[in-house]
Structure 1
Amino acid sequence: MRDLIDPALLPGLDMMPALDLNDAILPALRDGMEQASAAMPEPVGTGVTTRDEQVRTSDGHSVTVRVYTPSGAGPRPAILQIHGGGYVMGSVNTGHGAMMTLAAAVEAVIVSVDYRLAPETRAPGPVEDCYAALVWLHERAADLGIDPARIAVSGQSAGGGLAAALTQMARDRGGPAIAHQILVYPMLDDRTCITRQPEHLGAFVWTPQANAFGWRSLLGREPGAAEVPPYAVPARAADLSGLPPAFIAVGALDLFLAEDMDYARRLIEAKVPVELHVYPGAYHGFDVMPGAPVSGRMQRDMIAALRRALHGEEGAEAA
């Protein structure tokens, strides 16, 4: 099946082997991800400064957020960033360098949230952490030099699932307002675990086994059950109306292809503007492969969508 992969992405399979997730190996995988993140050099010349802050949640614990501030005068738009990791791995260190680059490219303050992970924290705990960070971002707008009317949410994989759930939660709670949602190969539907998929979907990087472990850890039950905790599974929401415009990107070999396309369809049917991109020959997480043209194309598409949403610019050249 490797012949289906874009040749420029083949080296990435050595960087991101398929995961065999279980409780015993999870601590080592978390440590490995943190070490890999720490070893990545920061991009030079971005002009972006970073600092960590603490956000108090409604139930009294604290969540770390990392604030990325580009050079120049405000007020700027803002992006609440939610990292990936299958709901069980990752931190604000995940994609740290990419966030510096993105903050400069979009000319936006980015606030990355270190939400609690499953299985130690089950749903809806992680999305409640993200909501607390969104409220903090809105309330601290003046101090952060941002325009509270121009806040987007962005996430990759499980972070994309949390971003989608967060827009539903914010809508149902009457705010804070979200101007746009960026969902990069989002993990949206636990029912994919019990739905027969073509063999080549999910054959690389994020597999059906890993997917079932991630959902089981978040839900505290087998995926595909009749009932799930509130805001745990964005694709199960009955009503998608009134949500912010969405950018959805997914690879054609990703296990999440069908659920992401179906979510885009349902958003469109609910009269939510959607920009959907499917990238041929691309597996889950393909955009982290440096130098691959398809990875660069996805980054340009995403930056252009953010600049249109947050700055009112038209065309990819605006990036």
Structure 2
Amino acid sequence: MTPAPENESPAVDEAYAADEPHPEAQAVLDALEAMGAPSIADLSPEDAREQMGDLLAVDSSIEVASVDDRRIDGSRGDIPIRIYDPADEPNDGDPEPRPPICYFHGGGWVLGDLESADPTCRKLATETGSPVVSVDYRLAPEHPFPAALEDCSAALEWVAENAGDFGGDPERLVLAGDSAGGNLAAGTTLLTRYRDGPSVAYQVLVYPVTGDATETAAYEENGEGYVLTTEESEWFRDHYFEREIDAANVFAAPRLTNDGLLSELPPATILTAGFDPLRDDGAAYADRLEAAGVPVSYRNYPGMIHGFFGMLERPADLSVAHEAHADVAADLRDALE
């Protein structure tokens, strides 16, 4: 078992890898190796998107009562969104509105869309009983930082203004995302507080990018053989940031934010995976938030790999992924009900 770093940071002390990947995660790794697909880092963004689309092409078996595709106004054009509602009727006969979850997909700011996030959003909706709004923000390199952040901020404002139309409570807004989407959720939470925009009640950050992961032990330990490689991480960053200085912007690297602003942020659930180069990055942000007085539920899944949270459908149907969604739902109930 990889030992936790020796320091006084509680979350980082819990961020470790098991002796080996969980058998279900190992089966995914074996299947990916057998496919022999080229590394994303060797592809153009267009080819990488095609490869990801082929890999994730699946009709979800997770049923929700309704799925509604819409387009909302953004600062640079329309933003596609998809609203998932698990209730048969608005509020399912209950006059109490539910916390709406605004979800930002992963994909290194270069890949991903409403389809890639579909199983995750369906699962979140069914586990929490809340409406989930998936956001198809603009992608790099065609639209580098801060385009995606601007779209996510616009989506948050739209949800705050329109939540009541689909059974959501605008006073209990939740921002959530995985990987690059976790980065955008954290950044949007900071940005709306900085601008005195819509109030966010909770944030769910799944193996988020929060700073310079290259300075962490996990980045070196898990840089090869566990879905996301260090070479691919650098490929994503190079496409997202046109200027090196942008990578140090606090809305792109929330871990660099001063304690004063961090202390004003809402409670958070932060999930990491043991065999993920981003493991210690997420844990370090959990420690920054806790040190600033923000309540944090930090959950590390030692046998898991990057991307596991969305592995909910055959052929990659991980039991721990379902457990992680149940954990997130429990945290939201404890914090918001």
| 1:15–1:131 Cα change, 3 Å | farther
Structure 2 counterparts to residues 79-158 of structure 1, below 5 A: 79-158=101-180
SS at match of 2:209: coil
Cα pair 1:55 1:64 within 8 Å, conserved: yes
Aligned twin of 1:192: 213
| 1:258–1:195 Cα change, 3 Å | closer
Higher mean C-alpha displacement, 166-175 vs 66-75: 66-75
Structure 1 residue 248, shift from structure 2 partner = 0.6
Aligned twin of 1:299: 325
Aligned twin of 2:68: 51
SS at match of 1:68: strand
| 1:205–1:19 Cα change, 3 Å | farther
* Aligned mates of 1:169, 1:16 — CA distance in 2: 37
Alignment of 1:232 with 2:249, yes or no, is no
Aligned twin of 1:21: 40
* Aligned mates of 1:306, 1:207 — CA distance in 2: 31
SS at match of 2:200: coil
Write out per-residue CA displacement over residues 172-229 of structure 1, whole angstroms, 9 at most, x where no aligned residue: 111201111001111222x22366656432321111111111112111145xx69634
Aligned twin of 1:40: 58
Q: How many residues align?
A: 305
Cα pair 1:43 1:100 within 8 Å, conserved: no
Report the residue type matching 2:241 in the other structure.
L
Write out per-residue CA displacement over residues 36-63 of structure 1, whole angstroms, 9 at most, x where no aligned residue: 44x312225x3421111111123x4111
Aligned twin of 1:7: 23
SS at match of 1:4: coil
* Aligned mates of 1:136, 1:177 — CA distance in 2: 13
Write out per-residue CA displacement over residues 272-299 of structure 1, whole angstroms, 9 at most, x where no aligned residue: 0000011112221123165544333222
Cα pair 1:19 1:206 within 8 Å, conserved: no
Instruction: Name the TM-score, length of structure 1 as normaliser.
Output: 0.87
Structure 1 residue 19, shift from structure 2 partner = 6.9
Structure 1 residue 238, shift from structure 2 partner = 2.2
Structure 1 residue 152, shift from structure 2 partner = 0.3
* Aligned mates of 1:96, 1:226 — CA distance in 2: 30
Q: Percent identity?
A: 36
Cα pair 1:19 1:210 within 8 Å, conserved: no
Gapped runs of 5+ residues in structure 2? 2-17, 92-96
Instruction: Name the TM-score, length of structure 2 as normaliser.
Output: 0.83
| 1:15–1:115 Cα change, 3 Å | farther
* Aligned mates of 2:120, 2:281 — CA distance in 1: 26
* Aligned mates of 1:93, 1:21 — CA distance in 2: 19
Structure 1 residue 14, shift from structure 2 partner = 3.8
Over the aligned positions, Cα root-mean-square deviation in angstroms equals 2.4
Report the residue type matching 1:302 in the other structure.
V
